[in-house]
Amino acid sequence: MSYLDKLKIIEEIVKTPLFSVVGFTLDKIIYVSTIEGRRSLWLVDIENKERVKIADDISSVSNIVEGSPYIMYSKDVTKGKEQHKAFIFSIDDFENFEVNAITPRRITSMCFDGENFALSSSTERTLDLWLVKPDATAERLYEANKLFFAVDIEKDKIVGQGILKGNPRSQELFIFDINTSEFDVYTPKEGSTNKNPKIHDGLVLFATTAFGKEKLVLMNMRNWELQEPKMSYDDYKGVEFSEYINFDWDLSGKIWFIAVRNGRTKIFYDGKLIDLPEGFVNNFVPAGDKHFVTWSSLTSPHKILVIDSKSGEVKTFLGEELPAETKNRLGKSKFITYKSFDELEIPTFVIESEKISKPGPTIIYVHGGPWASVNDSWNRMIAVLVASGYHVVAPNFRGSTGYGDEFRKLDIGDPGGGDLMDVVYAAKWAKENNLASKIAIMGYSYGGYMTYLATVLEPDIWDAGVAGAGITDWEELYDLSDALFKQFINLLFAGRKELLVERSAKSYTENLKVPLCIIHPQNDSRTPLKPVLKYVLNLLELGKTFELHVIPNMGHLVVKVEDAVRILFPATIFLNKILK
Ligand code: 4NP
């Protein structure tokens, strides 16, 4: 394959526009799309199909309240350093207003009840909570040096979640009273994990592990009493799933939820199953006699599907398929598990390339997070690797989400320990099952961290490594981090400061044996470039084989089509040279 052919595959995959639905109001669907090569916010009128662009290069969007013309969104104003400004758009007059009182900072969440917005953010020093009015005035309500995010607002109450009792293995809810400025911490049971509180008429719907496996419950804010959510249908009873991906109320108080098992979702509205193709749904928007969802799979990019609530008929509302030739290169994904060093079963997606034989060159793809997962949902990096002629094995190593909270918590106090061994055992699985000839490890962010560490702690397993936006030195990362990421590191390491050195590739650089391809955004404020440059200097002095690609005008998040090409093109050229 020529360089031109490689570039063409990458371009076709990353240029296929992605669509995700945000909400519904005033006969309009609000959505995010990459149709112009950047993340833009749009609206489309359901009746006349007229589309209007609201804003370019957006970072995040608040929920939409049916009947309200207001939408809040954030934009990074620092070329990827994730210092955001908040804006409010009004559908009534098609104008954007900047929230001037909130100076640039890392905005972590935004929510809306139709009257007011709540916003949480992080600065260098603290995390804070703001109230924003539709006229774009804002007031800071609360500030603390602990990990918390606003999730929902109703009248004088803001609810959210965080690590609020100092226990890294539990997560509590908070209820902030706007009138009294009281910040109450709530948990149904000490040590349980509680998430995603959504208010409707003084009732808080949330997911909790207080009674065993994750479960949806209601809490009455007037008396703190718990009750079971009521649904009209009980299709979900007896259906096995591990976690809730998302849930909320509709305007009339009916509950919908998206549940996941083995990397695929099922969605229930008022307890009734909504039939969709196999894959993964991120969001659900009820809109009268239609429902809208964001759907994708490992071989099909994110699109918005519309479902007729009466007939159940599913159609594409906004979305594009890959060009047929590229789609054919992707083949089929399959879900497997293998046993790790301690017999723990590791849920994994395997995608065999249609274009090469078995055994063939294989990539162990390590996802970021670490509290995230590879699902049967669209992943540009995996798609490019498979289409370029590599088998891909993507393990959901311990600590991954989607397999229950006990599994998720297994990396707390042990990052780069058991999870790294799970990744090593993925490589063993690929060899033993006759899938892999040569093997590279590749990942971005936490996956880049694992790549650095795996290539020095287990140097004989791999033929090459590709580390994107990775971590080489947790100690220096900690010093360079803002309040949010300092808290994040404390949480992940469960306060075990000694591990910051022990679990950093920097401590073992001389062990490196295989060529390393290093790709790093210049403006990354989550995993800064500086410690990586020091690592590179050390590699240079030790005479190791490496290549370094610094991507200017880009931060940690891959937001532009151009950014994705600038990461994936050097990676595939490198892999081709070493593995083929
Ligand atoms: P990501 O990885 O979530 O995959 O982007 C990480 C980024 C930053 C940190 C940890 C993981 N951090 O601790 O700063």
Q: How far apart are CA 213 and CA 404, in angstroms?
A: 7
Best residue among 488, 491, 493, 567 to mutate for probing ligand 1, ranked by most atoms within 8 Å of CB: 488
Ligand 1 centroid distance, CA of 28 (Å): 36
Q: What is the mean pLDDT of the chain?
A: 97
Detail the DSSP E strand segments found in 413-483: 436-444, 464-468
CB 322 within 8 A of CB 22: no
Residue bearing the CA closest to ligand 1, atom 11 = 446
Confidence of residue 355 (pLDDT cuts 50, 70, 90): confident
Q: Is the CB of 446 under 6 A from ligand 1?
A: yes
- pLDDT of the residue at 1: 79
pLDDT score, position 116: 98
Cβ(487) – ligand 1 distance below 6 Å: no
**pLDDT tens digit sequence for 214-238:** 999 999 999 999 999 999 999 999 9
Q: Which helix (H) or strand (E) holds 353?
A: none
Q: What's the CA gap between 91 and 24, in Å, rounded?
A: 12
At residue 580, the pLDDT reads 87
- Cα(531) to ligand 1 centroid in Å equals 14
Q: How many angstroms separate the first and last alpha carbons of the chain?
A: 11
Spatial CA neighbour of 531 closest among 475, 487, 483: 475
Q: What is the mean pLDDT of residues 250-271?
A: 97
Rounded CA-CA distance 240/420 in Å is 29
Is the model's pLDDT at 332 over the cut of 90?
no
User: How far, in Å, is the centroid of ligand 1 from the Cα of 91?
Assistant: 36
| 444-475 per-position pLDDT tens digit | 999 999 999 999 999 999 999 999 999 999 99
| Banded model confidence at residue 269, pLDDT cuts 50, 70, 90 | very high
**Does residue 171 carry a pLDDT above 90?**
yes
Protein residue closest via CA to atom 12 of ligand 1: 485
pTM, rounded to two decimals: 0.97
C-beta of residue 244 within 8 angstroms of C-beta of residue 216 = yes
Render 426-437 in DSSP notation, one character per residue: HHHHHHHTT-EE
The pLDDT tens digits of the residues spanning 476-524 come to 999 999 999 999 999 999 999 999 999 999 999 999 999 999 999 999 9
**Distance of CA 414 from the midpoint of ligand 1 (Å):** 15
How far is it, in rounded angstroms, from Cα 243 to Cα 12? 34
26: pLDDT confidence band, cut at 50, 70 and 90? very high
- Catalytic residues, which ones? 445, 524, 556
- Has residue 435 got a pLDDT over 90? yes
Architecture of the domain spanning 324-579: 3-Layer(aba) Sandwich (3.40)
- pLDDT of 478 reads 98
Strands (E), 446-515: 464-468
Domain-wise residue ranges, the chain? 233-321, 324-579
